[in-house]
Structure 1
Amino acid sequence: MEIRNGRVRGLDLHLARLDAATRELFGEGLDGGLVCERVRGALRTAGVTDAGVRVYVHLPPGDGTVRPVTTVIARPPTPEPEAPQRLTAVTYQRPAAHLKHTGVFGQSYHLRRAQAAGFDEALLTGPDGIVAEGAITNVGFVEGDTVVWPDAPALDGITMLLLRRELDRLGLPWVRRPVCLADIPSFDGAFVSNSLGVAPVGRIDELSVPVDVPVVGRLRSLYANAEWDVI
C-alpha cells in the first residue's frame, strides 16, 4: 500500500484481503487493528508519514504449533506513473493467482525481461492467449463507455476493487469477461492499475493503443478523488 500523510486509500479492502488470505493459508483470521498498529510502528521507526508499505503474514520455522507472524516493511514512496505504459505479452500465470504471495519468481523474471526489452510491464497470459493480469498490475480495457476486466485467474488488486466500488457508486458500467490477445485491437483503450494508481496503456507489443480515452481519464479521476483512510 502507498501511504501519504499517514493515510491510505481503501484501507478496509486491504484489511479484508489480508484476513481472507490468512484464513485460507493458516486457518485463522488476522486482526485488522494489529495490522494498523504494526504499520504505524513501521512509520514511526522510519520517521516518515509517506511510504510504500508491505505487510507480510508468514509462519516462522517451528514444530507446527507456531502462530502466524505479521511483519511490516516501509520503503520510500513511489510516485504514480505519468507516461502511457508499454506492455509485452508473455505466456505465464501465477500459481494461486487469487492470493498475493511471496512466490513471485515467475512474474519477477518476466517483468525484468520485459523491462530489459524496453517495456514497462509484462502482460501475463494463459492458454490460447487468454489475458489474466500484469506482472505487478491489473489490466483493464475500454469498450465504449464500459470498463472490461479480464475473467481469468488473477489477483483482485486493491485499486481495481476500489475503482469497481466507485463505478458502482456512480452507476457506471463495468463487466468481467474473458479477453484474449486477439480481442485487444477491438477495444477503444486499455489501462493498468495497482497501488501506484491508474495509467493508460499506449502499446501492447507492436500494437498501438489509444491513450486519450475519456473512460480512462474518468478512472484516474475517480482514483485521485477516492477517500483516504487514517491508518
Structure 2
Amino acid sequence: MAELNGEPVELAQLQTLALTNYGHFTSMRVDDGRVRGLSLHMNRLRRDCRMLFDADLDLERVRELARRAAPATGSTVIRVTIFDPHLDLGHPSTANDPHVLVTSRPAGALPLPPLRVQSEWYVREVPSVKSVGLFASLYQRRQAQLGGFDDALFVDQDGVISEGGTWNIGFFDGSRVIWPDANCLAGVTMELLKGTHDHNTRSVRLADLPNMGAAFATNAAIGVRAIKAVDSIELPESHAIIDTLRKEYMEIGGDLL
C-alpha cells in the first residue's frame, strides 16, 4: 500500500524523493489499530518537518492518512515519509511544501533472533533527524554482512558507541540498564523503555563491552532484540534483563491511531 496525501501514488510523484533523498520519516508498528508511543512518533514528524522544511505539519491529517493503511486487527508497520516533490536540487532552500507519503509492510513476529554486529567507524549526518538519506547506513550494514555479521554498530574514532543503522543499542552492566551518551537518533522504543525501567546514560566504548552482562537493540519494528556478539566479543543470547525489558515494552498501552 502506498498513498501520497491520501491518493494512490504515481511513479512520477516519487521521482524527487528517489533522486534527491531529502526528507524524513517515522516507522510505527501498529497492533490491532494501536501504536506504542504514538505521540513520540508524531512529535518526531513535527520537529523534523520544521527543521527540514521550516513548515508546520498537520498531525491530525497525518494520523488520518496513516490510519487508512492500518488494518483494524493484526500487526503491520506503517511508514510515514515527509518530502517536498517540488524540491529543486540546485535550490533546496525553496523546499517548503511537505507532502505525506504513507506506505505499509508486514510486521515480523516478535521476538526476533539475536544479532551479531560489527563495529564500523561512522557517525550519521544530522543524527537527531530520522532522515530518508540511508545510503551510508546501508553501506555500513552491507560491509558488516559481507564480513559475516548481521548488522553494523556505529562508533567514532575513539571507539565510543552511538547506535546501529536503524536501531538504538542498550547494555546491562550487571546492575542497571545503560544507554550510550552519544550523538544518535533518540528512538521511540528507547524513549519508552527509559520511562519504564531504571537506567543510566553514559559514554560506552568498545573497550567496555567485556564487562557488560548483556546488550540489546531496540526500535519500533523489532521491539527489544538481543545482541549476542560485537566483533569478537561474545554476549549472552538470552538474559533476564532482556526478558524483563521485552515484557515491560509489550505491557505499554498503545494509543489508537
Q: What TM-score does the superposition give when structure 1 sets the normalisation length?
A: 0.90
In the alignment, the residues of structure 1 paired with residue 101 and residue 190 of structure 2 have an alpha-carbon distance, to the nearest angstrom, of 25
In the alignment, the residues of structure 2 paired with residue 72 and residue 226 of structure 1 have an alpha-carbon distance, to the nearest angstrom, of 25
**Is 1:209 aligned to 2:210, yes or no?**
no
Task: Tell whether the 8 Å contact from 1:89 to 1:205 is kept in structure 2 after alignment.
Answer: yes
Alignment match, 1:61: 86
Aligned to 1:143, which of 173, 182, 185?
173
Aligned to 2:244, which of 212, 215, 218?
218
Aligned to 1:51, which of 76, 86, 101?
76
Equivalent AA in structure 2 for residue 174 of structure 1: H
Alignment match, 2:161: 131
Task: Tell whether the 8 Å contact from 2:120 to 2:140 is kept in structure 1 after alignment.
Answer: yes
State the aligned residue count. Answer: 224
Alignment match, 1:170: none
Any residues of structure 2 matched to 1:123-202 within 5 Å, and which? 123-167=153-197, 173-195=198-220, 196-202=222-228
Task: Tell whether the 8 Å contact from 2:53 to 2:95 is kept in structure 1 after alignment.
Answer: no
Q: What TM-score does the superposition give when structure 2 sets the normalisation length?
A: 0.81
RMSD: 1.9
Aligned to 2:102, which of 72, 78, 102?
72
Shift of 1:65: 7.1
Shift of 1:80: 2.8
Equivalent AA in structure 1 for residue 45 of structure 2: L
Which runs of no fewer than 5 residues in structure 1 stay unpaired?
168-172
Equivalent AA in structure 2 for residue 23 of structure 1: R
Cα gap change, 1:210 to 1:3, in 2 (>3 Å): same
Task: Tell whether the 8 Å contact from 2:172 to 2:178 is kept in structure 1 after alignment.
Answer: yes
Alignment match, 2:36: 9
In the alignment, the residues of structure 2 paired with residue 49 and residue 40 of structure 1 have an alpha-carbon distance, to the nearest angstrom, of 14
In the alignment, the residues of structure 1 paired with residue 229 and residue 108 of structure 2 have an alpha-carbon distance, to the nearest angstrom, of 23
In the alignment, the residues of structure 2 paired with residue 65 and residue 217 of structure 1 have an alpha-carbon distance, to the nearest angstrom, of 45
**Other structure's SS at 2:196 match:** helix
**Other structure's SS at 1:127 match:** coil
Which runs of no fewer than 5 residues in structure 2 stay unpaired?
1-27, 89-93
Shift of 1:31: 2.2
Task: Tell whether the 8 Å contact from 1:131 to 1:181 is kept in structure 2 after alignment.
Answer: yes
**Other structure's SS at 1:20 match:** helix
Q: Matched residues, percent identical?
A: 36
